[in-house]
């Protein structure tokens, strides 16, 4: 990871444009483990009875914060970052320490998942976060926990820049005092995932209803992983889930998939640079919703094929890729990725279904619009969508707003347009700490092909 305040993106298009028509060997890339699966697996392992071994673990700021919180609660762990393994001795749904202080950093999964677990346990837990996480939504989850019987005390709620009912706060948990809840997930599907994962700790059948329909691909990931660890939650209709009582998580030896969100940055290089790309061990049967981004790239003209080593994506025969209208509600982490390559398409690209990304690490719709405009690219920003028109980006330093996806996504633009730099590249430590080193290696491989 570069330590400089900016990262100068290597301009590759001119060098590759002459080679691309004859480039037969794909760019092959390996990416670290999935953040979403790593952090779910860490929580499920703590809830299980017995010792779980997690393999292919992602080590990043988010996952390290989650792991540190698990350790601070008294769970026994063994960590081998070199082998990418973590063992966790679960306590069958109990928390070893009845009082603890937790700092979740900027990790949304740790913030939401651990808050639900601790709020519905027996004990007193003091919760804090980074300034960035203090500005992100928590109220729907905290209101649900209060309705279920948890006492929530807020600190510093009037401080500038903080939103009501957010970090820091103290949870005084008394277990479940009712067996049903309705939660609004318009701002984050993690509120629902958090409640589903801990719902089996209720002594009665537990019903979770939702308002909103954002992020259901992540909910399906949660339900599949719960099933893998031994707990079934039944979808009664589009808005209601039932977790039958009496179920318990079991310890597993669990392999974590490569991070498809990370893989998509390299797959986006296929239409952008007119090269074939394969990311090791990424397949269409992935638990991760971002694999649907490859279907959008197919709509733009690419060709995807399963191979034993991973999905192979090839550019169109003429090297042209098309503007599309894409509902990205199932793969919204890739909205920035699509916006970053959209100026080079043959027509406008409209990205819809992304209103909730205004409440993530940054207001991502506003960020996309601001940085594209800074590059001289015409775009139209709306409440829950953005349209990007074809154009030639001019040299620019991309402001990242402390958001890893702004940094990783807009680095793609610079591969095809000279003079693009990324401010604060270190923000990628959140999920993919050596992203720019991997990008530089890929660039070196392509330049020497």
The reported pLDDT for the residue numbered 3 is 42
Distance CA 253, CA 238 (A): 32
CATH number given to 6-33+258-447: 3.65.10.10
Here the tokens at position 386 are 């953005």
The reported pLDDT for the residue numbered 96 is 98
The reported pLDDT for the residue numbered 447 is 82
Q: What is the pTM of this model?
A: 0.92
CA atoms within 13 A on the CB side of 124: 2
Answer yes or no: same fold for 6-33+258-447 and 35-255: yes
Protein fold of 35-255: UDP-n-acetylglucosamine1-carboxyvinyl-transferase; Chain (3.65.10)
Residues with catalytic function? 333
Q: For the chain, how far is it from start to end, CA to CA, in angstroms?
A: 24
Tokens 């699509």 belong to: 338
The reported pLDDT for the residue numbered 19 is 63
Tokens 């409640």 belong to: 195
**DSSP secondary structure, 95-136, as one string:** -S-SEEEEE-TT-HHIIIIIHHHHHTSEEEEEEE--HHHHTS
Question: What are the average pLDDT values for consecutive 10-residue runs of the chain, which has 449 residues?
Answer: 76 78 80 97 98 97 97 98 97 98 96 98 97 94 98 74 82 97 95 98 97 88 98 95 98 98 98 96 97 98 97 94 96 97 98 95 97 98 98 98 97 97 96 95 87
Domain-wise residue ranges, the chain = 6-33+258-447, 35-255
The reported pLDDT for the residue numbered 160 is 52
**DSSP secondary structure, 291-353, as one string:** GGHHHHHHHTT-EEE--TTS-EEE--TTS-----EEE-TTSGGGHHHHHHHGGGSSS-EEEES
Per-residue pLDDT tens digits for 404-449: 999 999 999 999 999 999 999 999 999 999 999 999 999 998 888 7
The reported pLDDT for the residue numbered 254 is 98
The reported pLDDT for the residue numbered 284 is 97
The reported pLDDT for the residue numbered 1 is 38
* Contact yes or no for 341/375 (Cβ under 8 A): no
Backbone angles phi, psi at 156, to 5 degrees: 60, 35
What is the rounded (10 degree) CA torsion for 426, 429, 431, 436? 50
Q: Cβ neighbours of residue 12 under 8 Å, at least 6 residues apart?
A: 273, 415, 416, 443, 446, 447
* Contact yes or no for 49/250 (Cβ under 8 A): yes
């Amino acid at each position: 990871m570069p330590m400089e305040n900016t990262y100068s993106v290597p301009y590759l298009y001119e060098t590759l444009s002459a080679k691309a028509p004859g480039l037969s060997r794909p760019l092959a890339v390996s990416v670290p483990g999935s953040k979403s699966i790593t952090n779910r697996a860490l929580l499920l392992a703590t809830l299980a009875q017995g010792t779980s071994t997690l393999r292919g673990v992602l080590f990043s700021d988010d996952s390290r914060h989650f792991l540190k919180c698990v350790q601070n609660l008294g769970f026994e762990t063994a960590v081998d970052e070199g082998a990418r393994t973590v063992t966790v001795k679960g306590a069958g749904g109990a928390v070893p320490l009845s009082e603890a202080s937790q700092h979740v950093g900027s990790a949304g999964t740790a913030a939401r998942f651990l808050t639900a677990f601790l709020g519905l346990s027996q004990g007193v837990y003091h919760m804090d976060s980074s300034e960035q996480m203090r500005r992100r939504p928590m109220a729907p989850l905290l209101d649900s926990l209060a309705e279920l019987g948890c006492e929530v005390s807020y600190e510093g709620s009037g401080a500038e820049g903080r939103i009501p009912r957010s970090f820091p706060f103290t949870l005084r948990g008394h277990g479940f005092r009712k067996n049903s809840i309705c939660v609004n997930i318009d701002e984050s599907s993690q509120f629902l995932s958090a409640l589903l994962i801990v719902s089996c700790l209720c002594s009665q059948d537990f019903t979770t209803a939702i308002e909103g329909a954002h992020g259901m691909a992540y909910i399906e990931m949660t339900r599949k992983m719960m099933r893998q660890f031994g707990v079934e939650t039944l979808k009664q209709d589009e808005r209601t889930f039932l977790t039958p009582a009496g179920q318990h998580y079991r310890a597993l030896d669990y392999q974590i998939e490569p991070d498809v969100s990370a893989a998509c940055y390299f797959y986006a290089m296929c239409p952008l640079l007119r090269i074939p790309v394969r990311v090791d061990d990424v397949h269409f049967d992935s638990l991760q919703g971002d694999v649907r981004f490859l279907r959008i790239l197919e709509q733009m003209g690419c060709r995807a094929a399963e191979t034993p080593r991973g999905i192979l994506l090839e550019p169109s025969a003429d090297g042209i890729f098309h503007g599309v209208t894409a509902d990205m509600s199932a793969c919204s982490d890739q909205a920035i990725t699509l916006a970053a390559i959209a100026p080079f398409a043959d027509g406008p690209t409209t990205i819809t279904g992304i209103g909730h990304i205004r409440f993530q690490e940054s207001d991502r719709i506003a960020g996309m619009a601001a940085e594209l405009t800074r590059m001289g690219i015409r775009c139209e920003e709306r409440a829950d969508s953005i349209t990007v028109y074809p154009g030639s980006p001019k040299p620019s330093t991309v402001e990242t707003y402390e958001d890893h996806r702004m940094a990783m996504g807009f680095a793609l633009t610079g591969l095809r347009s000279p003079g693009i730099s990324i401010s604060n590249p270190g923000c990628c430590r959140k999920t993919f700490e050596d992203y720019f080193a991997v990008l530089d290696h890929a660039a070196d491989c392509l330049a020497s092909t």
